Amino acid sequence: MNDFRFYSPTRFVFGRGVTDRAGDEIAKLGFKRALLVFGQGSVVRTGTLDRVKASLDAAGVAHAELGGVRPNPEITSVREGIALAREFEADIVVPVGGGSAMDAAKAIALGAVYDGDAWDFWRKRATPTDHLPLACVVTIPASGSEASNSCVISNDEEHLKCGLNTDLNRPVLAIMDPELTFTLPPYQTAAGVTDMIAHIMERFFSGQPAVDVTDNIACGMIRAVMDAAPRVMEDPKDYDARANIMWVGTLAHNGLAGLGLGVPGGRDGDWTCHGLEHELSAFDPKITHGAGLAVIFPAWMRYVWREHPERFLAFGEQVFGIEPVDPAVDDLSDIDEEITPERAVEDAVEATIDELQDFFVSLGMPRTLSEFGMTEDDIEKLMPGLSINRGELFGSFKKLTLDDARAIYRSAL
């Protein structure tokens, strides 16, 4: 087990109807002026925003609003929010929504106390040292941003989508009401489930040796969300299934699933698949992050598994109950060819990857990049951003070059 530090300062308020307690919880922490940040209409249409505003009013917390944050939030709206936060003299930023609203709010919280342009942080021209606190009202379980140290922002002018990890990004409060997720469209639910599974797998496949406690936590969370997802597809108002999905989404990305698996001197995981996917949604912001991961992760797995097959065998056994056949104990009379130990491992790994991808597809996720309208000619357009964000050599499970990335993208078409 590698050394680690674990910091998770977020206070969670989880359960039915807790949306109406948002103002009281924020006021109890001493905040008086909140900047509300939300997306392009769903929290307005469902009445969630009005409930939050009413709770703030009842608690005596003044509030201003920044709406219209798009999926894959862009630096322009962040700059607008920074100006509003300063003008309003906000002492806390309150995103109401999913990962996009939360990431925009994190960026605003960092930029509001910085003299330069906030984009400096994502282009690694400056390091944040201060921020406004955040309190999240979560409506879409997926990103885990309500407890994570990460924040991803796009810059359309530069055709870049960049991530920033700092503990300053960790919210002080997360209001989590599973009932708010009852109205999520199936596609959004499926993309969220894919994203949270990917957050866990990025850490599981860090390239580091097994850590039994962490591996059991990680695989247990994946099994739980894979059990819950089909249930909410059948019954969107299955509270227990929605609650399990929402809580897994948080634990998948607050660092718990990677303890002891961190790369010495690096992050708590490989994160290559997220890097490859970020270039897809930078290329076309209409590509949902989780949907892109549903295509990229299996393609990456098929490309790299021989580097550490033991991790794939452990994953297959713990998540799907898949083990290599053993000629000494298994009946192989219906198989004509000889099954060598090497072939048995390959078959088990391929079956594991197939099971994972089939699960994503069963939820309505895409199998190929061509389903996004992408062609082989588009692959080269992804390379400049990948080079800036990841460098010429990247990954911890297996070191990859830009040519390797090209091959992975090509295999996913």
Q: Where are the domains of the chain?
A: 11-181, 186-411
Q: Give the CA-trace dihedral at 155, 158, 161, 166, to 10 degrees.
A: -70
pLDDT band at 3 (very low <50, low <70, confident <90, very high): confident
* Helices (runs of H) and strands (runs of E) counted in the chain: 15, 10
pLDDT band at 327 (very low <50, low <70, confident <90, very high): low
Please report which helix (H) or strand (E) contains residue 400, including its range.
Answer: strand 400-401
Q: Closest Cα partner for 339 from 353, 324, 352, 354?
A: 324
Q: Closest Cα partner for 136 from 158, 162, 164, 108?
A: 108
Measured between alpha carbons, how far is 170 from 188 in angstroms, rounded to an integer? 24
pLDDT band at 47 (very low <50, low <70, confident <90, very high): very high
- Give the model's pLDDT for residue 84: 98
Q: Is the dihedral of CA 122, 125, 128, 132 positive or negative?
A: negative
pLDDT digits 0-9 by tens, 256-298: 999 999 888 778 899 999 999 999 998 998 999 999 999 999 9
Q: Closest Cα partner for 352 from 290, 409, 302?
A: 302
- Give the model's pLDDT for residue 334: 67
Measured between alpha carbons, how far is 387 from 409 in angstroms, rounded to an integer? 15
- Give the model's pLDDT for residue 411: 97
Q: Is the backbone of residue 42 left (phi > 0), alpha (psi -120 to 50) or beta? A: alpha
Interhelix angle for 289-304 vs 341-362, to 10°? 170
Query: Residues near 302 by Cβ (< 8 Å), separated by ≥ 6?
Result: 350, 353, 411
pLDDT digits 0-9 by tens, 151-195: 999 999 998 999 999 999 999 999 999 999 999 999 999 999 999
Per CATH, is 186-411 categorized as 1.20.1090.10? Answer: yes
- Give the model's pLDDT for residue 206: 95
Enter the pTM of the model: 0.93
Measured between alpha carbons, how far is 225 from 247 in angstroms, rounded to an integer? 9
11-181 CATH: 3.40.50.1970
pLDDT band at 314 (very low <50, low <70, confident <90, very high): very high
pLDDT of 357 > 90? The answer is: yes
Residue 271: alpha-carbon gap to chain centroid: 11
How does DSSP assign 265-291, residue by residue? TS-SS--HHHHHHHHHHHH-TTS-HHH
Tokens of 399: 């070191």
Measured between alpha carbons, how far is 98 from 181 in angstroms, rounded to an integer? 10
Mean per-residue pLDDT for 309-334?
Answer: 85
How does DSSP assign 321-386, residue by residue? ------TTTS--TT--S---HHHHHHHHHHHHHHHHHHHHHHTT--SSGGGGT--HHHHHHHHHHH
